[in-house]
Chain A
């Protein structure tokens, strides 16, 4: 599917995607909010396999079942959505620790803004949101090619969305390896 490479780009009506078979988990302590999310994603061809009313219930499922997409509410009694995502990323569960996670919130408390940024989710959607916003974000996280980083306490997708050219010395090992490979390739051609 084309035309959905960046955050904020809207979907073309004719864009085709296939989410049938995606094992999806929705976690929300509000049964009505959970049903709203499930009905919206059902329209996209996503049947919710695991509907969980708490983080504890979700954790029990995740220990034994691989999941392809997780939608989790931020504010829940007991373990919050932020704490849940932080646990998931550090859980060591394969492949679930790297599963795409979209967080939803009716309101984000000011004291939780840094938690929302640092817990390791792929995206946070604040309500009210339309079905089209939800679909755009699901497609976006499916296309999300950011590497996962471990930096201090953080474990999750690279939080840098912009990729502006850097004028200084390259320090990223992946880029250095690429440059070395390219230099060797050129040298082999010259031989």
Chain B
């Protein structure tokens, strides 16, 4: 197979980075965290909206409709990860990612077990309401979701641990 190599031209970004001035990594990260902290309240509201929308989804009536409804559930789960990600809400991200994995692995030619979506919506609601120090309860919720993944998609659960 032919390989054409374009010798790397220095990008403008690589020139800018070394210009005088700028900020240290420590200051940059402190500024970024301060900026993000101002959005934490809105982040929680977005997560709650997405979880509510997930819980409201109804199972598809036909195989043809299944892909569309599952895409919606996948998008709600992804949006939870988007909003929770920068705020160290790792349990919410893990629960949402678990559902994404299950939807992604679902065979297209078979009906989807809708209890999976229901259980994840309930788990996400529970994680949102549990007190911050309820570490053991959070661990149990995530472990039970992981069990669903192990049962439905053998071999994948270990990869995402």
Q: Evaluate contact between A16 and B85: CB separation under 8 angstroms.
A: no
Interface residues of B (CB under 8 A from A): 1-9, 11-14, 16-26, 28-36, 38-39, 42-43, 46, 74-75, 77-79, 81-86, 88-90, 93, 96-97, 100-101, 104-105
Is A15 interfacial (CB 8 A cutoff)?
yes
Interface residues of A (CB under 8 A from B): 1, 11-22, 30, 32-33, 35-36, 39-45, 66, 68-69, 75, 95, 98-100, 106-107, 109-111, 127-132, 134-135, 139, 141-152, 172-174
Q: How far is the CB of A8 from chain B (nearest CB, A)?
A: 16
Contacts A30-B79, A32-B83 hold; do A16 and B23 have CB atoms under 8 A apart? yes
Q: A18-B17, A18-B22, A41-B32 are in contact. List 14 more A-B contacts (CB 8 A).
A: A14-B26, A15-B25, A16-B22, A20-B19, A22-B13, A42-B32, A43-B32, A107-B74, A131-B86, A142-B14, A144-B14, A147-B8, A149-B3, A173-B5
Chain B contact surface mostly: helix
A153 to B56, CA, bound (A): 43
Q: Evaluate contact between A44 and B23: CB separation under 8 angstroms.
A: yes
Q: Evaluate contact between A45 and B86: CB separation under 8 angstroms.
A: no
Contacts A43-B34, A68-B13 hold; do A11 and B81 have CB atoms under 8 A apart? no
Q: Evaluate contact between B82 and A32: CB separation under 8 angstroms.
A: yes
Contact of A131 among B24, B33, B74, B105 (CB under 8 A): B33
Q: How far is the CB of A187 from chain B (nearest CB, A)?
A: 25
A14 to B88, CA, bound (A): 24
Residues of A within 8 A of B96 (CB): 106
Q: Evaluate contact between A135 and B9: CB separation under 8 angstroms.
A: no
Q: Evaluate contact between B97 and A107: CB separation under 8 angstroms.
A: yes
Residues of A within 8 A of B28 (CB): 17, 43-45, 135
A11 to B86, CA, bound (A): 18
Contact of A142 among B13, B25, B26, B83 (CB under 8 A): B13
Residue of B nearest to A172 (CB): B5
Q: Evaluate contact between A147 and B6: CB separation under 8 angstroms.
A: yes
Residue of B nearest to A111 (CB): B104
A182 to B9, CA, bound (A): 22
Q: How far is the CB of A100 from chain B (nearest CB, A)?
A: 6
Q: Evaluate contact between A110 and B105: CB separation under 8 angstroms.
A: yes
Contacts A17-B17, A128-B81, A128-B93 hold; do A151 and B33 have CB atoms under 8 A apart? no
Residues of A within 8 A of B78 (CB): 75, 106-107
Q: How far is the CB of A189 from chain B (nearest CB, A)?
A: 27
Contact of B17 among A19, A33, A172, A174 (CB under 8 A): A19
Which interface residue of B8, B11, B84 has the most chain A CB atoms within 10 A?
B11
Q: Evaluate contact between A17 and B23: CB separation under 8 angstroms.
A: yes
A98 to B101, CA, bound (A): 33
Q: How far is the CB of A5 from chain B (nearest CB, A)?
A: 13
Q: Evaluate contact between B4 and A14: CB separation under 8 angstroms.
A: no
Residues of B within 8 A of A15 (CB): 24-25
Residues of A within 8 A of B89 (CB): 128
10 contacts between A and B (CB under 8 A): A11-B25, A17-B22, A30-B79, A32-B83, A44-B28, A75-B78, A128-B90, A129-B86, A131-B29, A148-B8
